[in-house]
Structure 1
Amino acid sequence: MGRKRVTTTKENSTGRNTAFHDNYTSNDMTRAQFVKQIESGNYDNYHVRKINGVKTPVSNPDKNVNNNLD
């Protein structure tokens, strides 16, 4: 099993993920930055959902646990 591409590094009091780390490039991103990267097509295994009116990065539903955000 390989290492996860992206991990969550911070969440707010409601549990919303607010900061992320790309383990391949060592890039730290805010939620908004990660959303923009996903929408630009730079992260194939992730997509954006609008949850309570906020664009939120989520991993694509599949059997691969390596792309899950936790």
Structure 2
Amino acid sequence: MKKINVIEETSTGRNKTFKDLTTGTIMTRAQFVKKIEQENYPDYHVRLIDGIKTPVSNPNGNDKDNLG
């Protein structure tokens, strides 16, 4: 089940704002990254993409729960 939804992207398509569908919490990319690094979201991890920490879904073979 999808737990996080992307609610805003930059003009280049980078995910910018996220919503936790369980709690209703709205987070910036930096806030979400910090929570992932604090192990609050075990189904997600952080990748460095173009020098920017970027939250991504852990691979599990299910495209329906990917960020996007």
What is the TM-score when the length of structure 2 is the normalising length? Answer: 0.93
Q: Report % sequence identity.
A: 56
Relative distance call for 1:47 and 1:37 in structure 2 (3 A) is same
User: How far is the alpha carbon of 1:63 from its aligned partner?
Assistant: 1.6
Alignment of 1:27-38 (within 5 A): 27-38=25-36
Q: Following the alignment from structure 1 to structure 2, what is the Cα–Cα distance between the partners of residues 44 and 19? A: 19
Letter in 2 for 1:30: T
- Identify unmatched segments of 5+ residues in structure 1: none
2:32 alignment partner, SS class: helix
Equivalent of residue 9 in structure 1, options 7, 10, 19: 7
**RMSD, matched Cα:** 1.1
What is the TM-score when the length of structure 1 is the normalising length? Answer: 0.90
Aligned position for 1:43: 41
User: How far is the alpha carbon of 1:65 from its aligned partner?
Assistant: 3.6
- Identify unmatched segments of 5+ residues in structure 2: none
